[in-house]
Chain A
Amino acid sequence: DPKIIQKPKYLVAVTGSEKILICEQYLGHNAMYWYRQSAKKPLEFMFSYSYQKLMDNQTASSRFQPQSSKKNHLDLQITALKPDDSATYFCASSQDTGSQNTLYFGAGTRLSVL
């Protein structure tokens, strides 16, 4: 059974709309992350959270807002969607944010913005 659940698996949106990507982890981890995988680009770090607090934000746009309602949840709200936002978004978690910790990834949400 997957321990990191991302919903939905596929998502199609129109330009200008707003979507929420869901992520729940059942590994008992304290740190959660979002990464983005765009075509022809490496996986790109977006956010890290530890104990539901933002630790690092490498996303230039405020249109991307993580939301953590519980320690094992880290959703990603994206507003005013643009075609360039089309990518696969991966949620990940680790025991904590120490550098030695292994990251575990979900299966991703593939977002297409038309």
Chain B
Amino acid sequence: TQTVSQSDAHVTVFEGDSVELRCNYSYGGSIYLSWYIQHHGRGLQFLLKYYSGNPVVQGVNGFEAEFSKSDSSFHLRKASVHWSDSAVYFCAVSPITGNTRKLIFGLGTTLQVQP
């Protein structure tokens, strides 16, 4: 069974703070890992993805994520958040099997950035 776990349903920080949103996955094969952001009332927007190579990947708007095979994790980080970063963040796993592009999502973490 493939699962994606985002342990924090809600995270609240102040503008300028650093933040880490956690993602752990369970899957036995090769996968792509990605993060998406969903602002209220909008569709999901791609932030970044990882497949191989440098375990730290850079995304848009100062976000980065670090892959850890030993921890089965792909945590998202930002050094200094802005109020506009308030949104729901989804971690997703995409198994590399066959020719079907299917994302398996976590439940999401709502990030609230206070002024």
A interface vs B, CB < 8 Å? 4, 6, 31, 33, 35, 40-45, 48, 50, 55-56, 58, 90, 92, 94, 96-108
- Chain A: which residue is nearest B30 at the CB level? A99
Residues of chain A within 8 A (CB-CB) of B51 are 100
Q: Is B102 an interface residue (CB 8 A)?
A: yes
Count of A-B contacts judged by CB separation below 8 Å: 67
Say which residue of B44, B99, B100 sits within 8 Å of A105 (CB atoms).
B44
B58, CB-defined interface residue at 8 Å: no
Contact B44 A99 (CB under 8 A): no
Chain B residues bordering chain A, tally (CB within 8 A): 27
* Identity of the chain A residue whose Cβ is nearest the Cβ of B102 in the assembled complex: A45
CB pair B101 A103 closer than 8 Å: yes
Additional A-B contact list (11), CB under 8 Å, known A42-B104, A56-B102: A40-B107, A43-B90, A45-B102, A55-B100, A99-B32, A99-B97, A99-B101, A102-B34, A103-B46, A103-B103, A105-B43
- Decide if B96 is an interface residue (CB 8 Å cutoff): yes
Q: How far is the CB of A80 from chain B (nearest CB, A)?
A: 26
Complex: A50 Cα to B102 Cα, angstroms: 13
Provide the bound-state CA to CA distance between A110 and B105, in Å: 19
Q: CB-CB < 8 A to A33: which residues of B? A: 101
Tell me the chain B residues, 21-69 only, with Cβ under 8 Å from chain A.
Answer: 32, 34, 36, 41-46, 49, 51
Please tell me if the beta carbons of B102 and A48 are within 8 angstroms of each other in the complex.
Answer: yes
| A45 CA / B103 CA spacing, docked (Å) | 7
A56-B100 in contact (CB<8A) = yes
Q: Using A45-B102, A58-B102 as known contacts, say yes or no to A90 and B44 having CB atoms under 8 A apart.
A: yes
